[in-house]
Chain A
Amino acid sequence: MVTATEGFLARGDLDRLFQALGAGGRRIVGPTVVDGVVVYDELSNVVDLPVGWTFETAPGTYRATPGPSVRAFDYGVPPTAWKRFTHPPIVPLTRSRRDGDLVSIAPAGEPPPRLAFVGVRACELAALRIQERVMRAGPVGDADHVARRDAALVVAVECATAASTCFCTSMGTGPEVRDGADIVLSELDEGFTVRAGSPGGAAIVDGLALPAATAEQERRAAGQVAAVRATIGDPVPAEGLPERLRTALDHPRWADVAERCLACANCTLVCPTCFCTSVAVASDLDGLDATTERQWDGCFSLGFGRVAGDANFRPKVKDRYRQWLTHKFSTWWDQFGSSGCVGCGRCIAWCPVGIDVREELLAIAPVGASTGPVPWPPSPAEGRAPAELASVAPAHHALATVMHLVRETNDTVTLRLEVPDAAIRAARPGQFVMVEIPAFAIPPISISRIHPDGIELTIRAAGPATRALTSLPVRAQVALRGPFGRAWPIASAHGRDVVIVAGGIGLAPLRPVIDAVLADRARFGAVRLCLGARTPRDRLFVAEMAALGGRVDLEVAEIVDRAGPEWLGRVGIVTQLFDRAAWNGSTVSAFICGPERMMRATAAALERQGVPPAATWLTLERNMACGVGTCGHCQLGPFFVCRDGPVFSVAELGSALVREGL
Chain B
Amino acid sequence: MKKTLTTLLAIVFLCVSLGLAQAQKPSDLKFAPLKYDPPDPRAFRTQLANGLRAYIEEDHNLPLINVAAMVNFGGLYLPKDKQGLDNVMSGTMIRGGTKTKEGTAIEERIDFLGGSLGFNVGDRTATLSLSVLSKDLDEGLGLFFDVLMNPEFREGPLNLTRVRLVQQLRQANEQPSAVLSREYEKVLYGESPLTWQPTRKTFESITSADLKAVHAQYFFPKNIIMTAAGDFAKADLIAKINKYVANWQNKSVKFPVFSKQFPQPEPGVYFIQMPINQGYINVGHLGLEETNPDYFAVQVMNFILGGGSFSSRITMKVRSDEGLSYNQGSRFSYRWGFPGTFSGYVQTKSSTVGYAISLIENEFNRIRREPVADAEMDTAINYYLESFPGSFETAQSRMSTFANLEINGRPMDYYKTYRDKIKVVTKAKVQEVANKYIHPDKLVVMIVGDWEPCNKGGDQWPGPLDKLGKVHRIALADPLTGEIKK
**Genuine A/B complex:** no
B contact residues vs A (CB 8 Å cutoff) = none
A contact residues vs B (CB 8 Å cutoff) = none
